[in-house]
Amino acid sequence: MPAHTFQTSRPLRGTIRVPGDKSISHRALMFSSLAIGESTIHGLLEGEDVLATAAAMRQLGADIERTGEGDWRVNGAGLGSLLEPKNALDMGNSGTSTRLLMGLLASHGFASTFIGDASLSGRPMKRVIDPLGQMGASFEASTGGTLPLMMRGASPAVPITYRLPVASAQVKSAVLLAGLNTPGITRVIEPVETRDHTERMLTGFGATLEIGEHNGERLIAIHGEAELKPQNVIVPGDPSSAAFFMVAALLVPGSDIVIENVGMNRTRAGIVSALRQMGGSIEEVNAREVGGEPVADLHVKHSPLQGVDIDPAIVPSMVDEFPVLFVAAALAQGTTRTTGLDELRVKESDRIAAMAAALNLAGADVEEHEDGLTIQGTGGEPLKGTPKNALVKTSLDHRIAMSMAVAGLVSRDGVSVDDITPIATSFPTFMNLLEGAAA
């Protein structure tokens, strides 16, 4: 396991580009594989999670080929014409791949087995098993509804109306994808709006969706037995990856960077609003729309930050960015309070506990609650850093590793993390970009 120490940084300068959006990359591969004909994808994130999706779609009959850096060609198998996989579908560390593929295969009449790494095998799948079971799929899961898991899809599946018990874009997407190959209309009601990449991209590929309201909640209806048409997909930069550089530039004195081509979908870009609320200087330049998704270049300059109370309503639009927001809070002036973060307890790790332990080890003042953290900031003073021979436990979680890398840039003695290999699951170029920006 490669441990690594992140040291105090010189100002971050220049223009950088973060990898393609992970959520959109997964969906681009899946939906291209369901269209009949040849699609192209530009800017695909080539991290391990997305490559697990590509490998699974190949097993299901799609012809997928990498033609250059971030450039891929997909000849789809066609919706309803997927092949029964000969081997178990190995999802690696990717919860998104697993939940979306379970949805997709729930309305195909064959059996599939899903396996994953130790971290993924501890994550709850019951939240998708329940609605997909109502549609007719059957499951044999490990104790606690986790992987390894065997599923038999229903053909034909039964359309349902499903109200999400927790705000989850993955559960919503799983039900909508099951509805794609189900006769009739499948409906999902979400009490809180979550990221809407599935709805935008399915519409782009030619599916019929209607979005309306039901008793003040968002209702999404998808018409089954869709015929998807091949597309040329351009993937915007991942706001979750950009967040690490936004926070680093806000915290490291003298920094002034431009992050190009960042997806600014309002169901995803909550981190920008939260950092601006803290006083961060983040300016959107050259705002435009690419492939149905809003995109902008972000000009970020070092700024003194203020502690704030983060509105829990913003959580779904930045659920993956809280670990790095906690780092920003640790160096702000005053107190930052976060609540409503229960979902963070069931990510790649328990991110509330992991970040509380990591930041306290690095010298921050952090108090853990059931659904969030209260952080007393240093007012811009560097963190002390991790004690000699002590390592931050990343728990195989890429976002913990990258968040604590950012903390190391603003520490006196550096921050040592136990393992940086998980970073490759979502951001393979992170280390090189960080070195380049600080050079």
Supply angle C-alpha 52, 120, 389, rounded to 5. Answer: 110
Continuous segment of H or E residues that includes residue 239: helix 239-251
Rg (CA), the chain: 21
Q: Find the angle CA(95)-CA(101)-CA(106) to the nearest 5 degrees.
A: 130
> Is residue 27 a known part of a binding site?
yes
Residue 229 among known ligand-binding residues: no
Q: Check whether 320 is labelled as a binding-site residue.
A: yes
| Residue written as token pair 């990856």 | 241
State yes or no: 347 annotated in a binding site: yes
276 is in an annotated binding site: no
Question: Is-catalytic flag, 320?
Answer: yes
Residue 351 assigned to a binding site: yes
Of 141, 197, 147, the closest CA to residue 169 belongs to 197
Strand residues in 161-308 grouped as ranges (E): 161-163, 185-190, 209-214, 217-223, 232-234, 256-263, 281-290, 293-301
Q: 409 near 382, Cβ under 8 Å?
A: no
Is 22 labelled a binding residue? yes
130 is in an annotated binding site: no
DSSP code for 418: S
Q: Annotation-wise, does 95 bind a ligand?
A: yes
Q: Which residues contact 436 (CB under 8 A, 6 or more apart)?
A: 14, 16
> Which residue is catalytic, options 21, 90, 238, 320?
320
Asked if residue 90 belongs to a known ligand binding site, the reply is no
Contact between 258 and 47 (Cβ < 8 Å):
no
Residue 218 assigned as binding residue: no
| Residues in the annotated binding site for 3-phosphoshikimate | 22-23, 27, 168, 170, 320, 347
| Residues in the annotated binding site for phosphoenolpyruvate | 22, 95, 123, 170, 351, 399
Active-site residue numbers? 320
| Residues in the annotated binding site | 22-23, 27, 95, 123, 168, 170, 320, 347, 351, 399
